[in-house]
Amino acid sequence: MPVLLGSHGLTGHHGARAAAHGRRQERARARGGTRQRRRLVWLQQQATTEQMVRRQIRGLMSLHLLALRLGVDIETILACLQEEANGSGAGVWFGAVVPASAAAVAGLEKRTFVVHATTEGECGGDTEECAICFEDFEDGEEVAVMPCSHRHEFHVKCIGKWLGRSNTCPLCRYQLPTSGDVQ
């Protein structure tokens, strides 16, 4: 004679297995462990990983473009960013608050920009735009030349304003004297 189990109408041995299976499924659902849930979590993790990789690639591309724009290598930019993150780059990177001395700014070499310059006293060559305002130099325009080894060129007004806030070359971090420096 079949034994009636609960109100489900399940009978005998098969009913007990079905009831146990149902309890396991309920426990799995309660803790979120169903196969579909695990698959969904795995897909979300994959999507998150893919987003992180895309973000890193975009960051590296931006870093590469910045390096090209500034005319420096990526290692220099990374070293500057590391110094800034460690707190040891105060006054050395773009956010510097130590202005150059007025004498150092006034003493910057001035040259006439000429497209495809070939004579002494003219500048041009590879540089065709001011790295501060990103506007092209015009033929015959006076530009200021930093005393750094790269001889970076800028609009006179742009570099004057820059050096009023920071004593460093915007491209290579060459430091000009500050008013606090002993001459």
State the CB neighbour count (10 A cutoff) for residue 154.
Answer: 26
In whole angstroms, how far apart are CA 97 and each of 86, 100, 163, 166? Answer: 17, 10, 10, 6
pLDDT of 8 higher than 70: no
**pLDDT tens sequence across 46-80:** 888 888 888 888 888 887 887 777 777 777 777 77
**pLDDT tens sequence across 105-151:** 999 999 999 886 555 545 555 678 999 999 999 999 999 999 999 89
Residue found by looking up tokens 């608050």 in the block: 97
Is 52 in a helix, a strand, or coil? helix
C-alpha dihedral over 44, 47, 53, 59, to 10 degrees?
-100
Enter the DSSP assignment of 118.
-
Tokens for 18? Answer: 């079905």
Is 83 in a helix, a strand, or coil? helix
pTM, to two decimals: 0.45
- Say what the pLDDT of residue 81 is: 75
pLDDT of 94 higher than 70: no
Hey, what amino acid is at 37?
A: R
| Cβ pair 69, 61 in contact under 8 A | no
| Cβ pair 132, 170 in contact under 8 A | yes
Nearest-angstrom CA–CA distance, 113 and 61: 31
